[in-house]
């Protein structure tokens, strides 16, 4: 125990000195478990996050829009892969993580349990959802765990492109016909509040934040990041003539922040516990894809064995 205390002290001193923790370094079991929880949920979010947008690839309004959306959805598959690989460095296998997702035990971001009803939703997802992801992940790029931090740096670069393509769709529709303006405003009305929920519960209701902040996995709290997102996004909505669907939204000259109304936390908990509008549909789609991909996994394993490599390990 005394030895463990010494290790813990050295571990925390390294974190406080801004050093990265690497896979083979000693780490408290609680740090490892918290990272597995958070990083695997993040990986699942990227993969499930392909579904609402993938739904629109065949219906994109032009070839250019189709190519861009295809590339974006493909990027998200890539992000899932980097994040599963980074999580594997903590001693958990990809199969274990996937089993938790497919059996409904693991969480993934609340936001991907809402339907994409019109093309404007694709613009608004890029602008708001990728915009929120960037605010959150720019901080995570400085996280104390080396593999997560490095994955985040690359992912953030791609998310910046995603946000720009989304805002371009939004701006184009906002200066389009009355029907297009109505469609994009309606999409903003439906996605605004669920996007604010992406940052997690208020700090006072966030059981994990204590450990995560202490060990610099998180560098800012849920409420701090949510406020930052609102401050960045409100002027962007105004710039294209859209209205944020919050009657309580007002700018506070003294603090320099946009104040906003209360989030419907009952809706948040309902959605993350499996009872949102599309939870069942999303999991069914993932299970189907997993089953249909069985032959690909079998072929990859057979190939690895034939060439004397352990399946799942790089050459
Ligand atoms: N959704 O104690 P806290 C993307 C759960 S990537 C679902 O505050 P924590 C890119 C939380 O897990 C989006 N569950 O938790 C893209 C915990 O339950 P547990 C994903 C949530 O970890 C764009 C409980 O509530 N990004 O969008 C959510 O300290 C477009 C209590 O919460 C990440 O995952 C939620 N929103 O803070 C892809 C970023 N919030 O596990 C495709 C990494 C909270 O104890 C298309 N993660 N919960 O059973 C994080 O930064 C943190 O994990 C938070 C939550 C901030 C999400």
Q: What is the mean pLDDT of residues 93-116?
A: 97
Which residues have CB under 8 Å from 292's CB, separation 6+? Answer: none
Q: How far apart are CA 214 and CA 11, in angstroms?
A: 12
Of 267, 294, 85, the closest CA to residue 190 belongs to 267
Residues 6+ positions from 192 with CB-CB distance below 8 Å? 128, 244, 245, 246
Kindly give the distance from the C-alpha atom of residue 72 to the centroid of ligand 1, in angstroms, as a whole number: 21
Q: Cα separation of 58 and 258, whole Å?
A: 38
pLDDT at 95 over 60: yes
Residue 274's SS3 state is helix
- Average pLDDT, stretch 91-117? 97
What atom of ligand 1 comes closest to residue 225's alpha carbon? 56
Ligand 1 atom nearest residue 201's Cα: 8
Residue 270's pLDDT band, with cuts at 50, 70 and 90, is: very high
Token pair of 108 as six digits: 């993934």
> Which own/partner contact pairs does 268-272 have at CB distance under 8 Å and 24+ positions apart?
268/110, 268/197, 268/201, 271/110, 271/113, 271/194, 271/197, 272/107, 272/110
258, containing H or E segment: strand 257-259
Average pLDDT over residues 276-304: 96
Ligand 1, atom 21: closest residue by C-alpha? 200
Please compute the mean of the pLDDT values over residues 211-220 and round it to a whole number: 98
| Best residue among 127, 155, 200, 225 to mutate for probing ligand 1, ranked by most atoms within 8 Å of CB | 200
- pLDDT value at position 315? 52
Average pLDDT of the chain, as a whole number: 96
User: How confident is the model over 222-264, as pLDDT tens digits?
Assistant: 999 999 999 999 999 999 999 999 999 999 999 999 999 999 9
Task: Count CB neighbours of 188 within 10 A.
Answer: 24
- Looking at the predicted structure, is the pLDDT value of residue 1 above 60? no
Q: Give the list of residues 6+ apart from residue 106 with CB closer than 8 angstroms, or none.
A: 40, 41, 44, 97, 100
pLDDT digits (tens, 9 = 90+) for 168-180: 999 999 999 999 9
Give the per-residue pLDDT at 309.
79
Would the pLDDT of 314 be above 80?
no
Ligand 1 pocket check for 201: Cβ under 6 Å: yes
Note the helical H segments in the chain. 2-16, 29-48, 50-54, 63-88, 94-102, 119-124, 130-140, 146-174, 178-197, 209-214, 222-239, 265-270, 279-292, 294-306
Pocket test for ligand 1, best of 70, 71, 208 (most atoms within 8 A of CB): 208
Question: Residue with structure tokens 């980074």?
Answer: 86
The confidence score (pLDDT) of residue 310 equals 72
196 DSSP β-pair partners: none
What is the reported pLDDT for 2? 57
pLDDT for 160: 95
Whose structure tokens read 């949510």? 226
> Tell me, what's the pLDDT at 5?
76
User: Is residue 311 pLDDT above 70, yes or no?
Assistant: no
The closest residue, in CA terms, to atom 34 on ligand 1 is 42
Stated as kind and residue range, the H or E segment containing 252 is strand 250-252
**Rounded percentage of the chain residues whose pLDDT exceeds 70:** 97
DSSP state of 111: G
Contact 20, 146 (CB under 8 A): yes
Measured by CA distance, the residue closest to atom 48 of ligand 1 is: 200
Q: Is the pLDDT of residue 286 over 80?
A: yes
pLDDT band at 313 (very low <50, low <70, confident <90, very high): low
State the Cα–Cα distance between residues 151 and 92, nearest whole angstrom. 17
131 lines ligand 1 (CB under 6 A): no
User: For 14-51, how does the pLDDT look when each residue is reduced to its tens digit (9 = 90+)?
Assistant: 999 999 999 999 999 999 999 999 999 999 999 999 99
Q: What is the mean pLDDT of residues 147-170?
A: 96
| pLDDT score of 308 | 85
**Confidence grade of residue 312 (pLDDT, cut at 50, 70, 90):** low
Question: Ligand 1 within 6 A of 206 CB?
Answer: yes
pLDDT beyond 60 at 3: no
Residue 265 structure tokens: 């936390």
Q: Looking at residue 145, what DSSP letter applies?
A: B
| pTM of this structure | 0.95
Ligand 1 pocket residue status of 34, Cβ below 6 Å: no
């Amino acid at each position: 125990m005394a030895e463990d205390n010494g290790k813990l002290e050295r571990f925390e001193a390294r974190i406080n000195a801004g050093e990265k923790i690497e896979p083979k370094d000693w780490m408290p079991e609680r740090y490892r478990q918290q990272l597995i929880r958070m990083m695997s949920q993040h990986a699942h979010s990227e993969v499930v996050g392909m579904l609402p947008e993938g739904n629109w690839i065949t219906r994109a309004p032009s070839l250019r829009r189709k190519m861009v959306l295809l590339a974006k959805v493909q990027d998200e598959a890539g992000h899932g892969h980097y994040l599963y690989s980074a999580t594997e460095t903590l001693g958990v296998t990809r199969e274990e993580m996937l089993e938790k997702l497919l059996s409904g035990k693991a969480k993934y971001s609340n936001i991907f349990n809402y339907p994409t009803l019109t093309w404007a939703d694709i613009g608004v997802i890029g602008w708001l959802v990728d915009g929120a992801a960037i605010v959150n992940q720019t901080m995570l790029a400085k996280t104390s765990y080396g593999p997560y931090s490095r994955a985040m740096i690359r992912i953030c670069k791609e998310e910046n492109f995603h946000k720009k393509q989304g805002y371009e769709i939004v701006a184009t529709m906002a200066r389009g016909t009355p029907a297009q303006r109505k469609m994009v405003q309606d999409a903003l009305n439906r996605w605004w509040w669920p996007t604010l929920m992406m940052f997690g519960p208020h700090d006072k209701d966030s059981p994990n934040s204590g450990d995560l902040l202490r060990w610099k996995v998180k560098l800012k709290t849920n409420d701090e990041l949510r406020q930052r997102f609102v401050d960045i996004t409100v002027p962007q909505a105004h710039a294209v003539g859209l209205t944020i669907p919050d009657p309580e939204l007002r700018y506070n000259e003294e603090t320099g922040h946009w104040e906003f109304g209360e989030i419907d936390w009952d809706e948040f908990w309902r959605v993350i516990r499996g009872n949102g509008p599309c939870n069942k549909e999303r999991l069914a789609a993932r299970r189907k894809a997993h089953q249909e991909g069985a032959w690909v996994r079998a072929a990859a394993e057979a190939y690895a064995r034939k060439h004397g490599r352990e399946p799942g390990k790089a050459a």
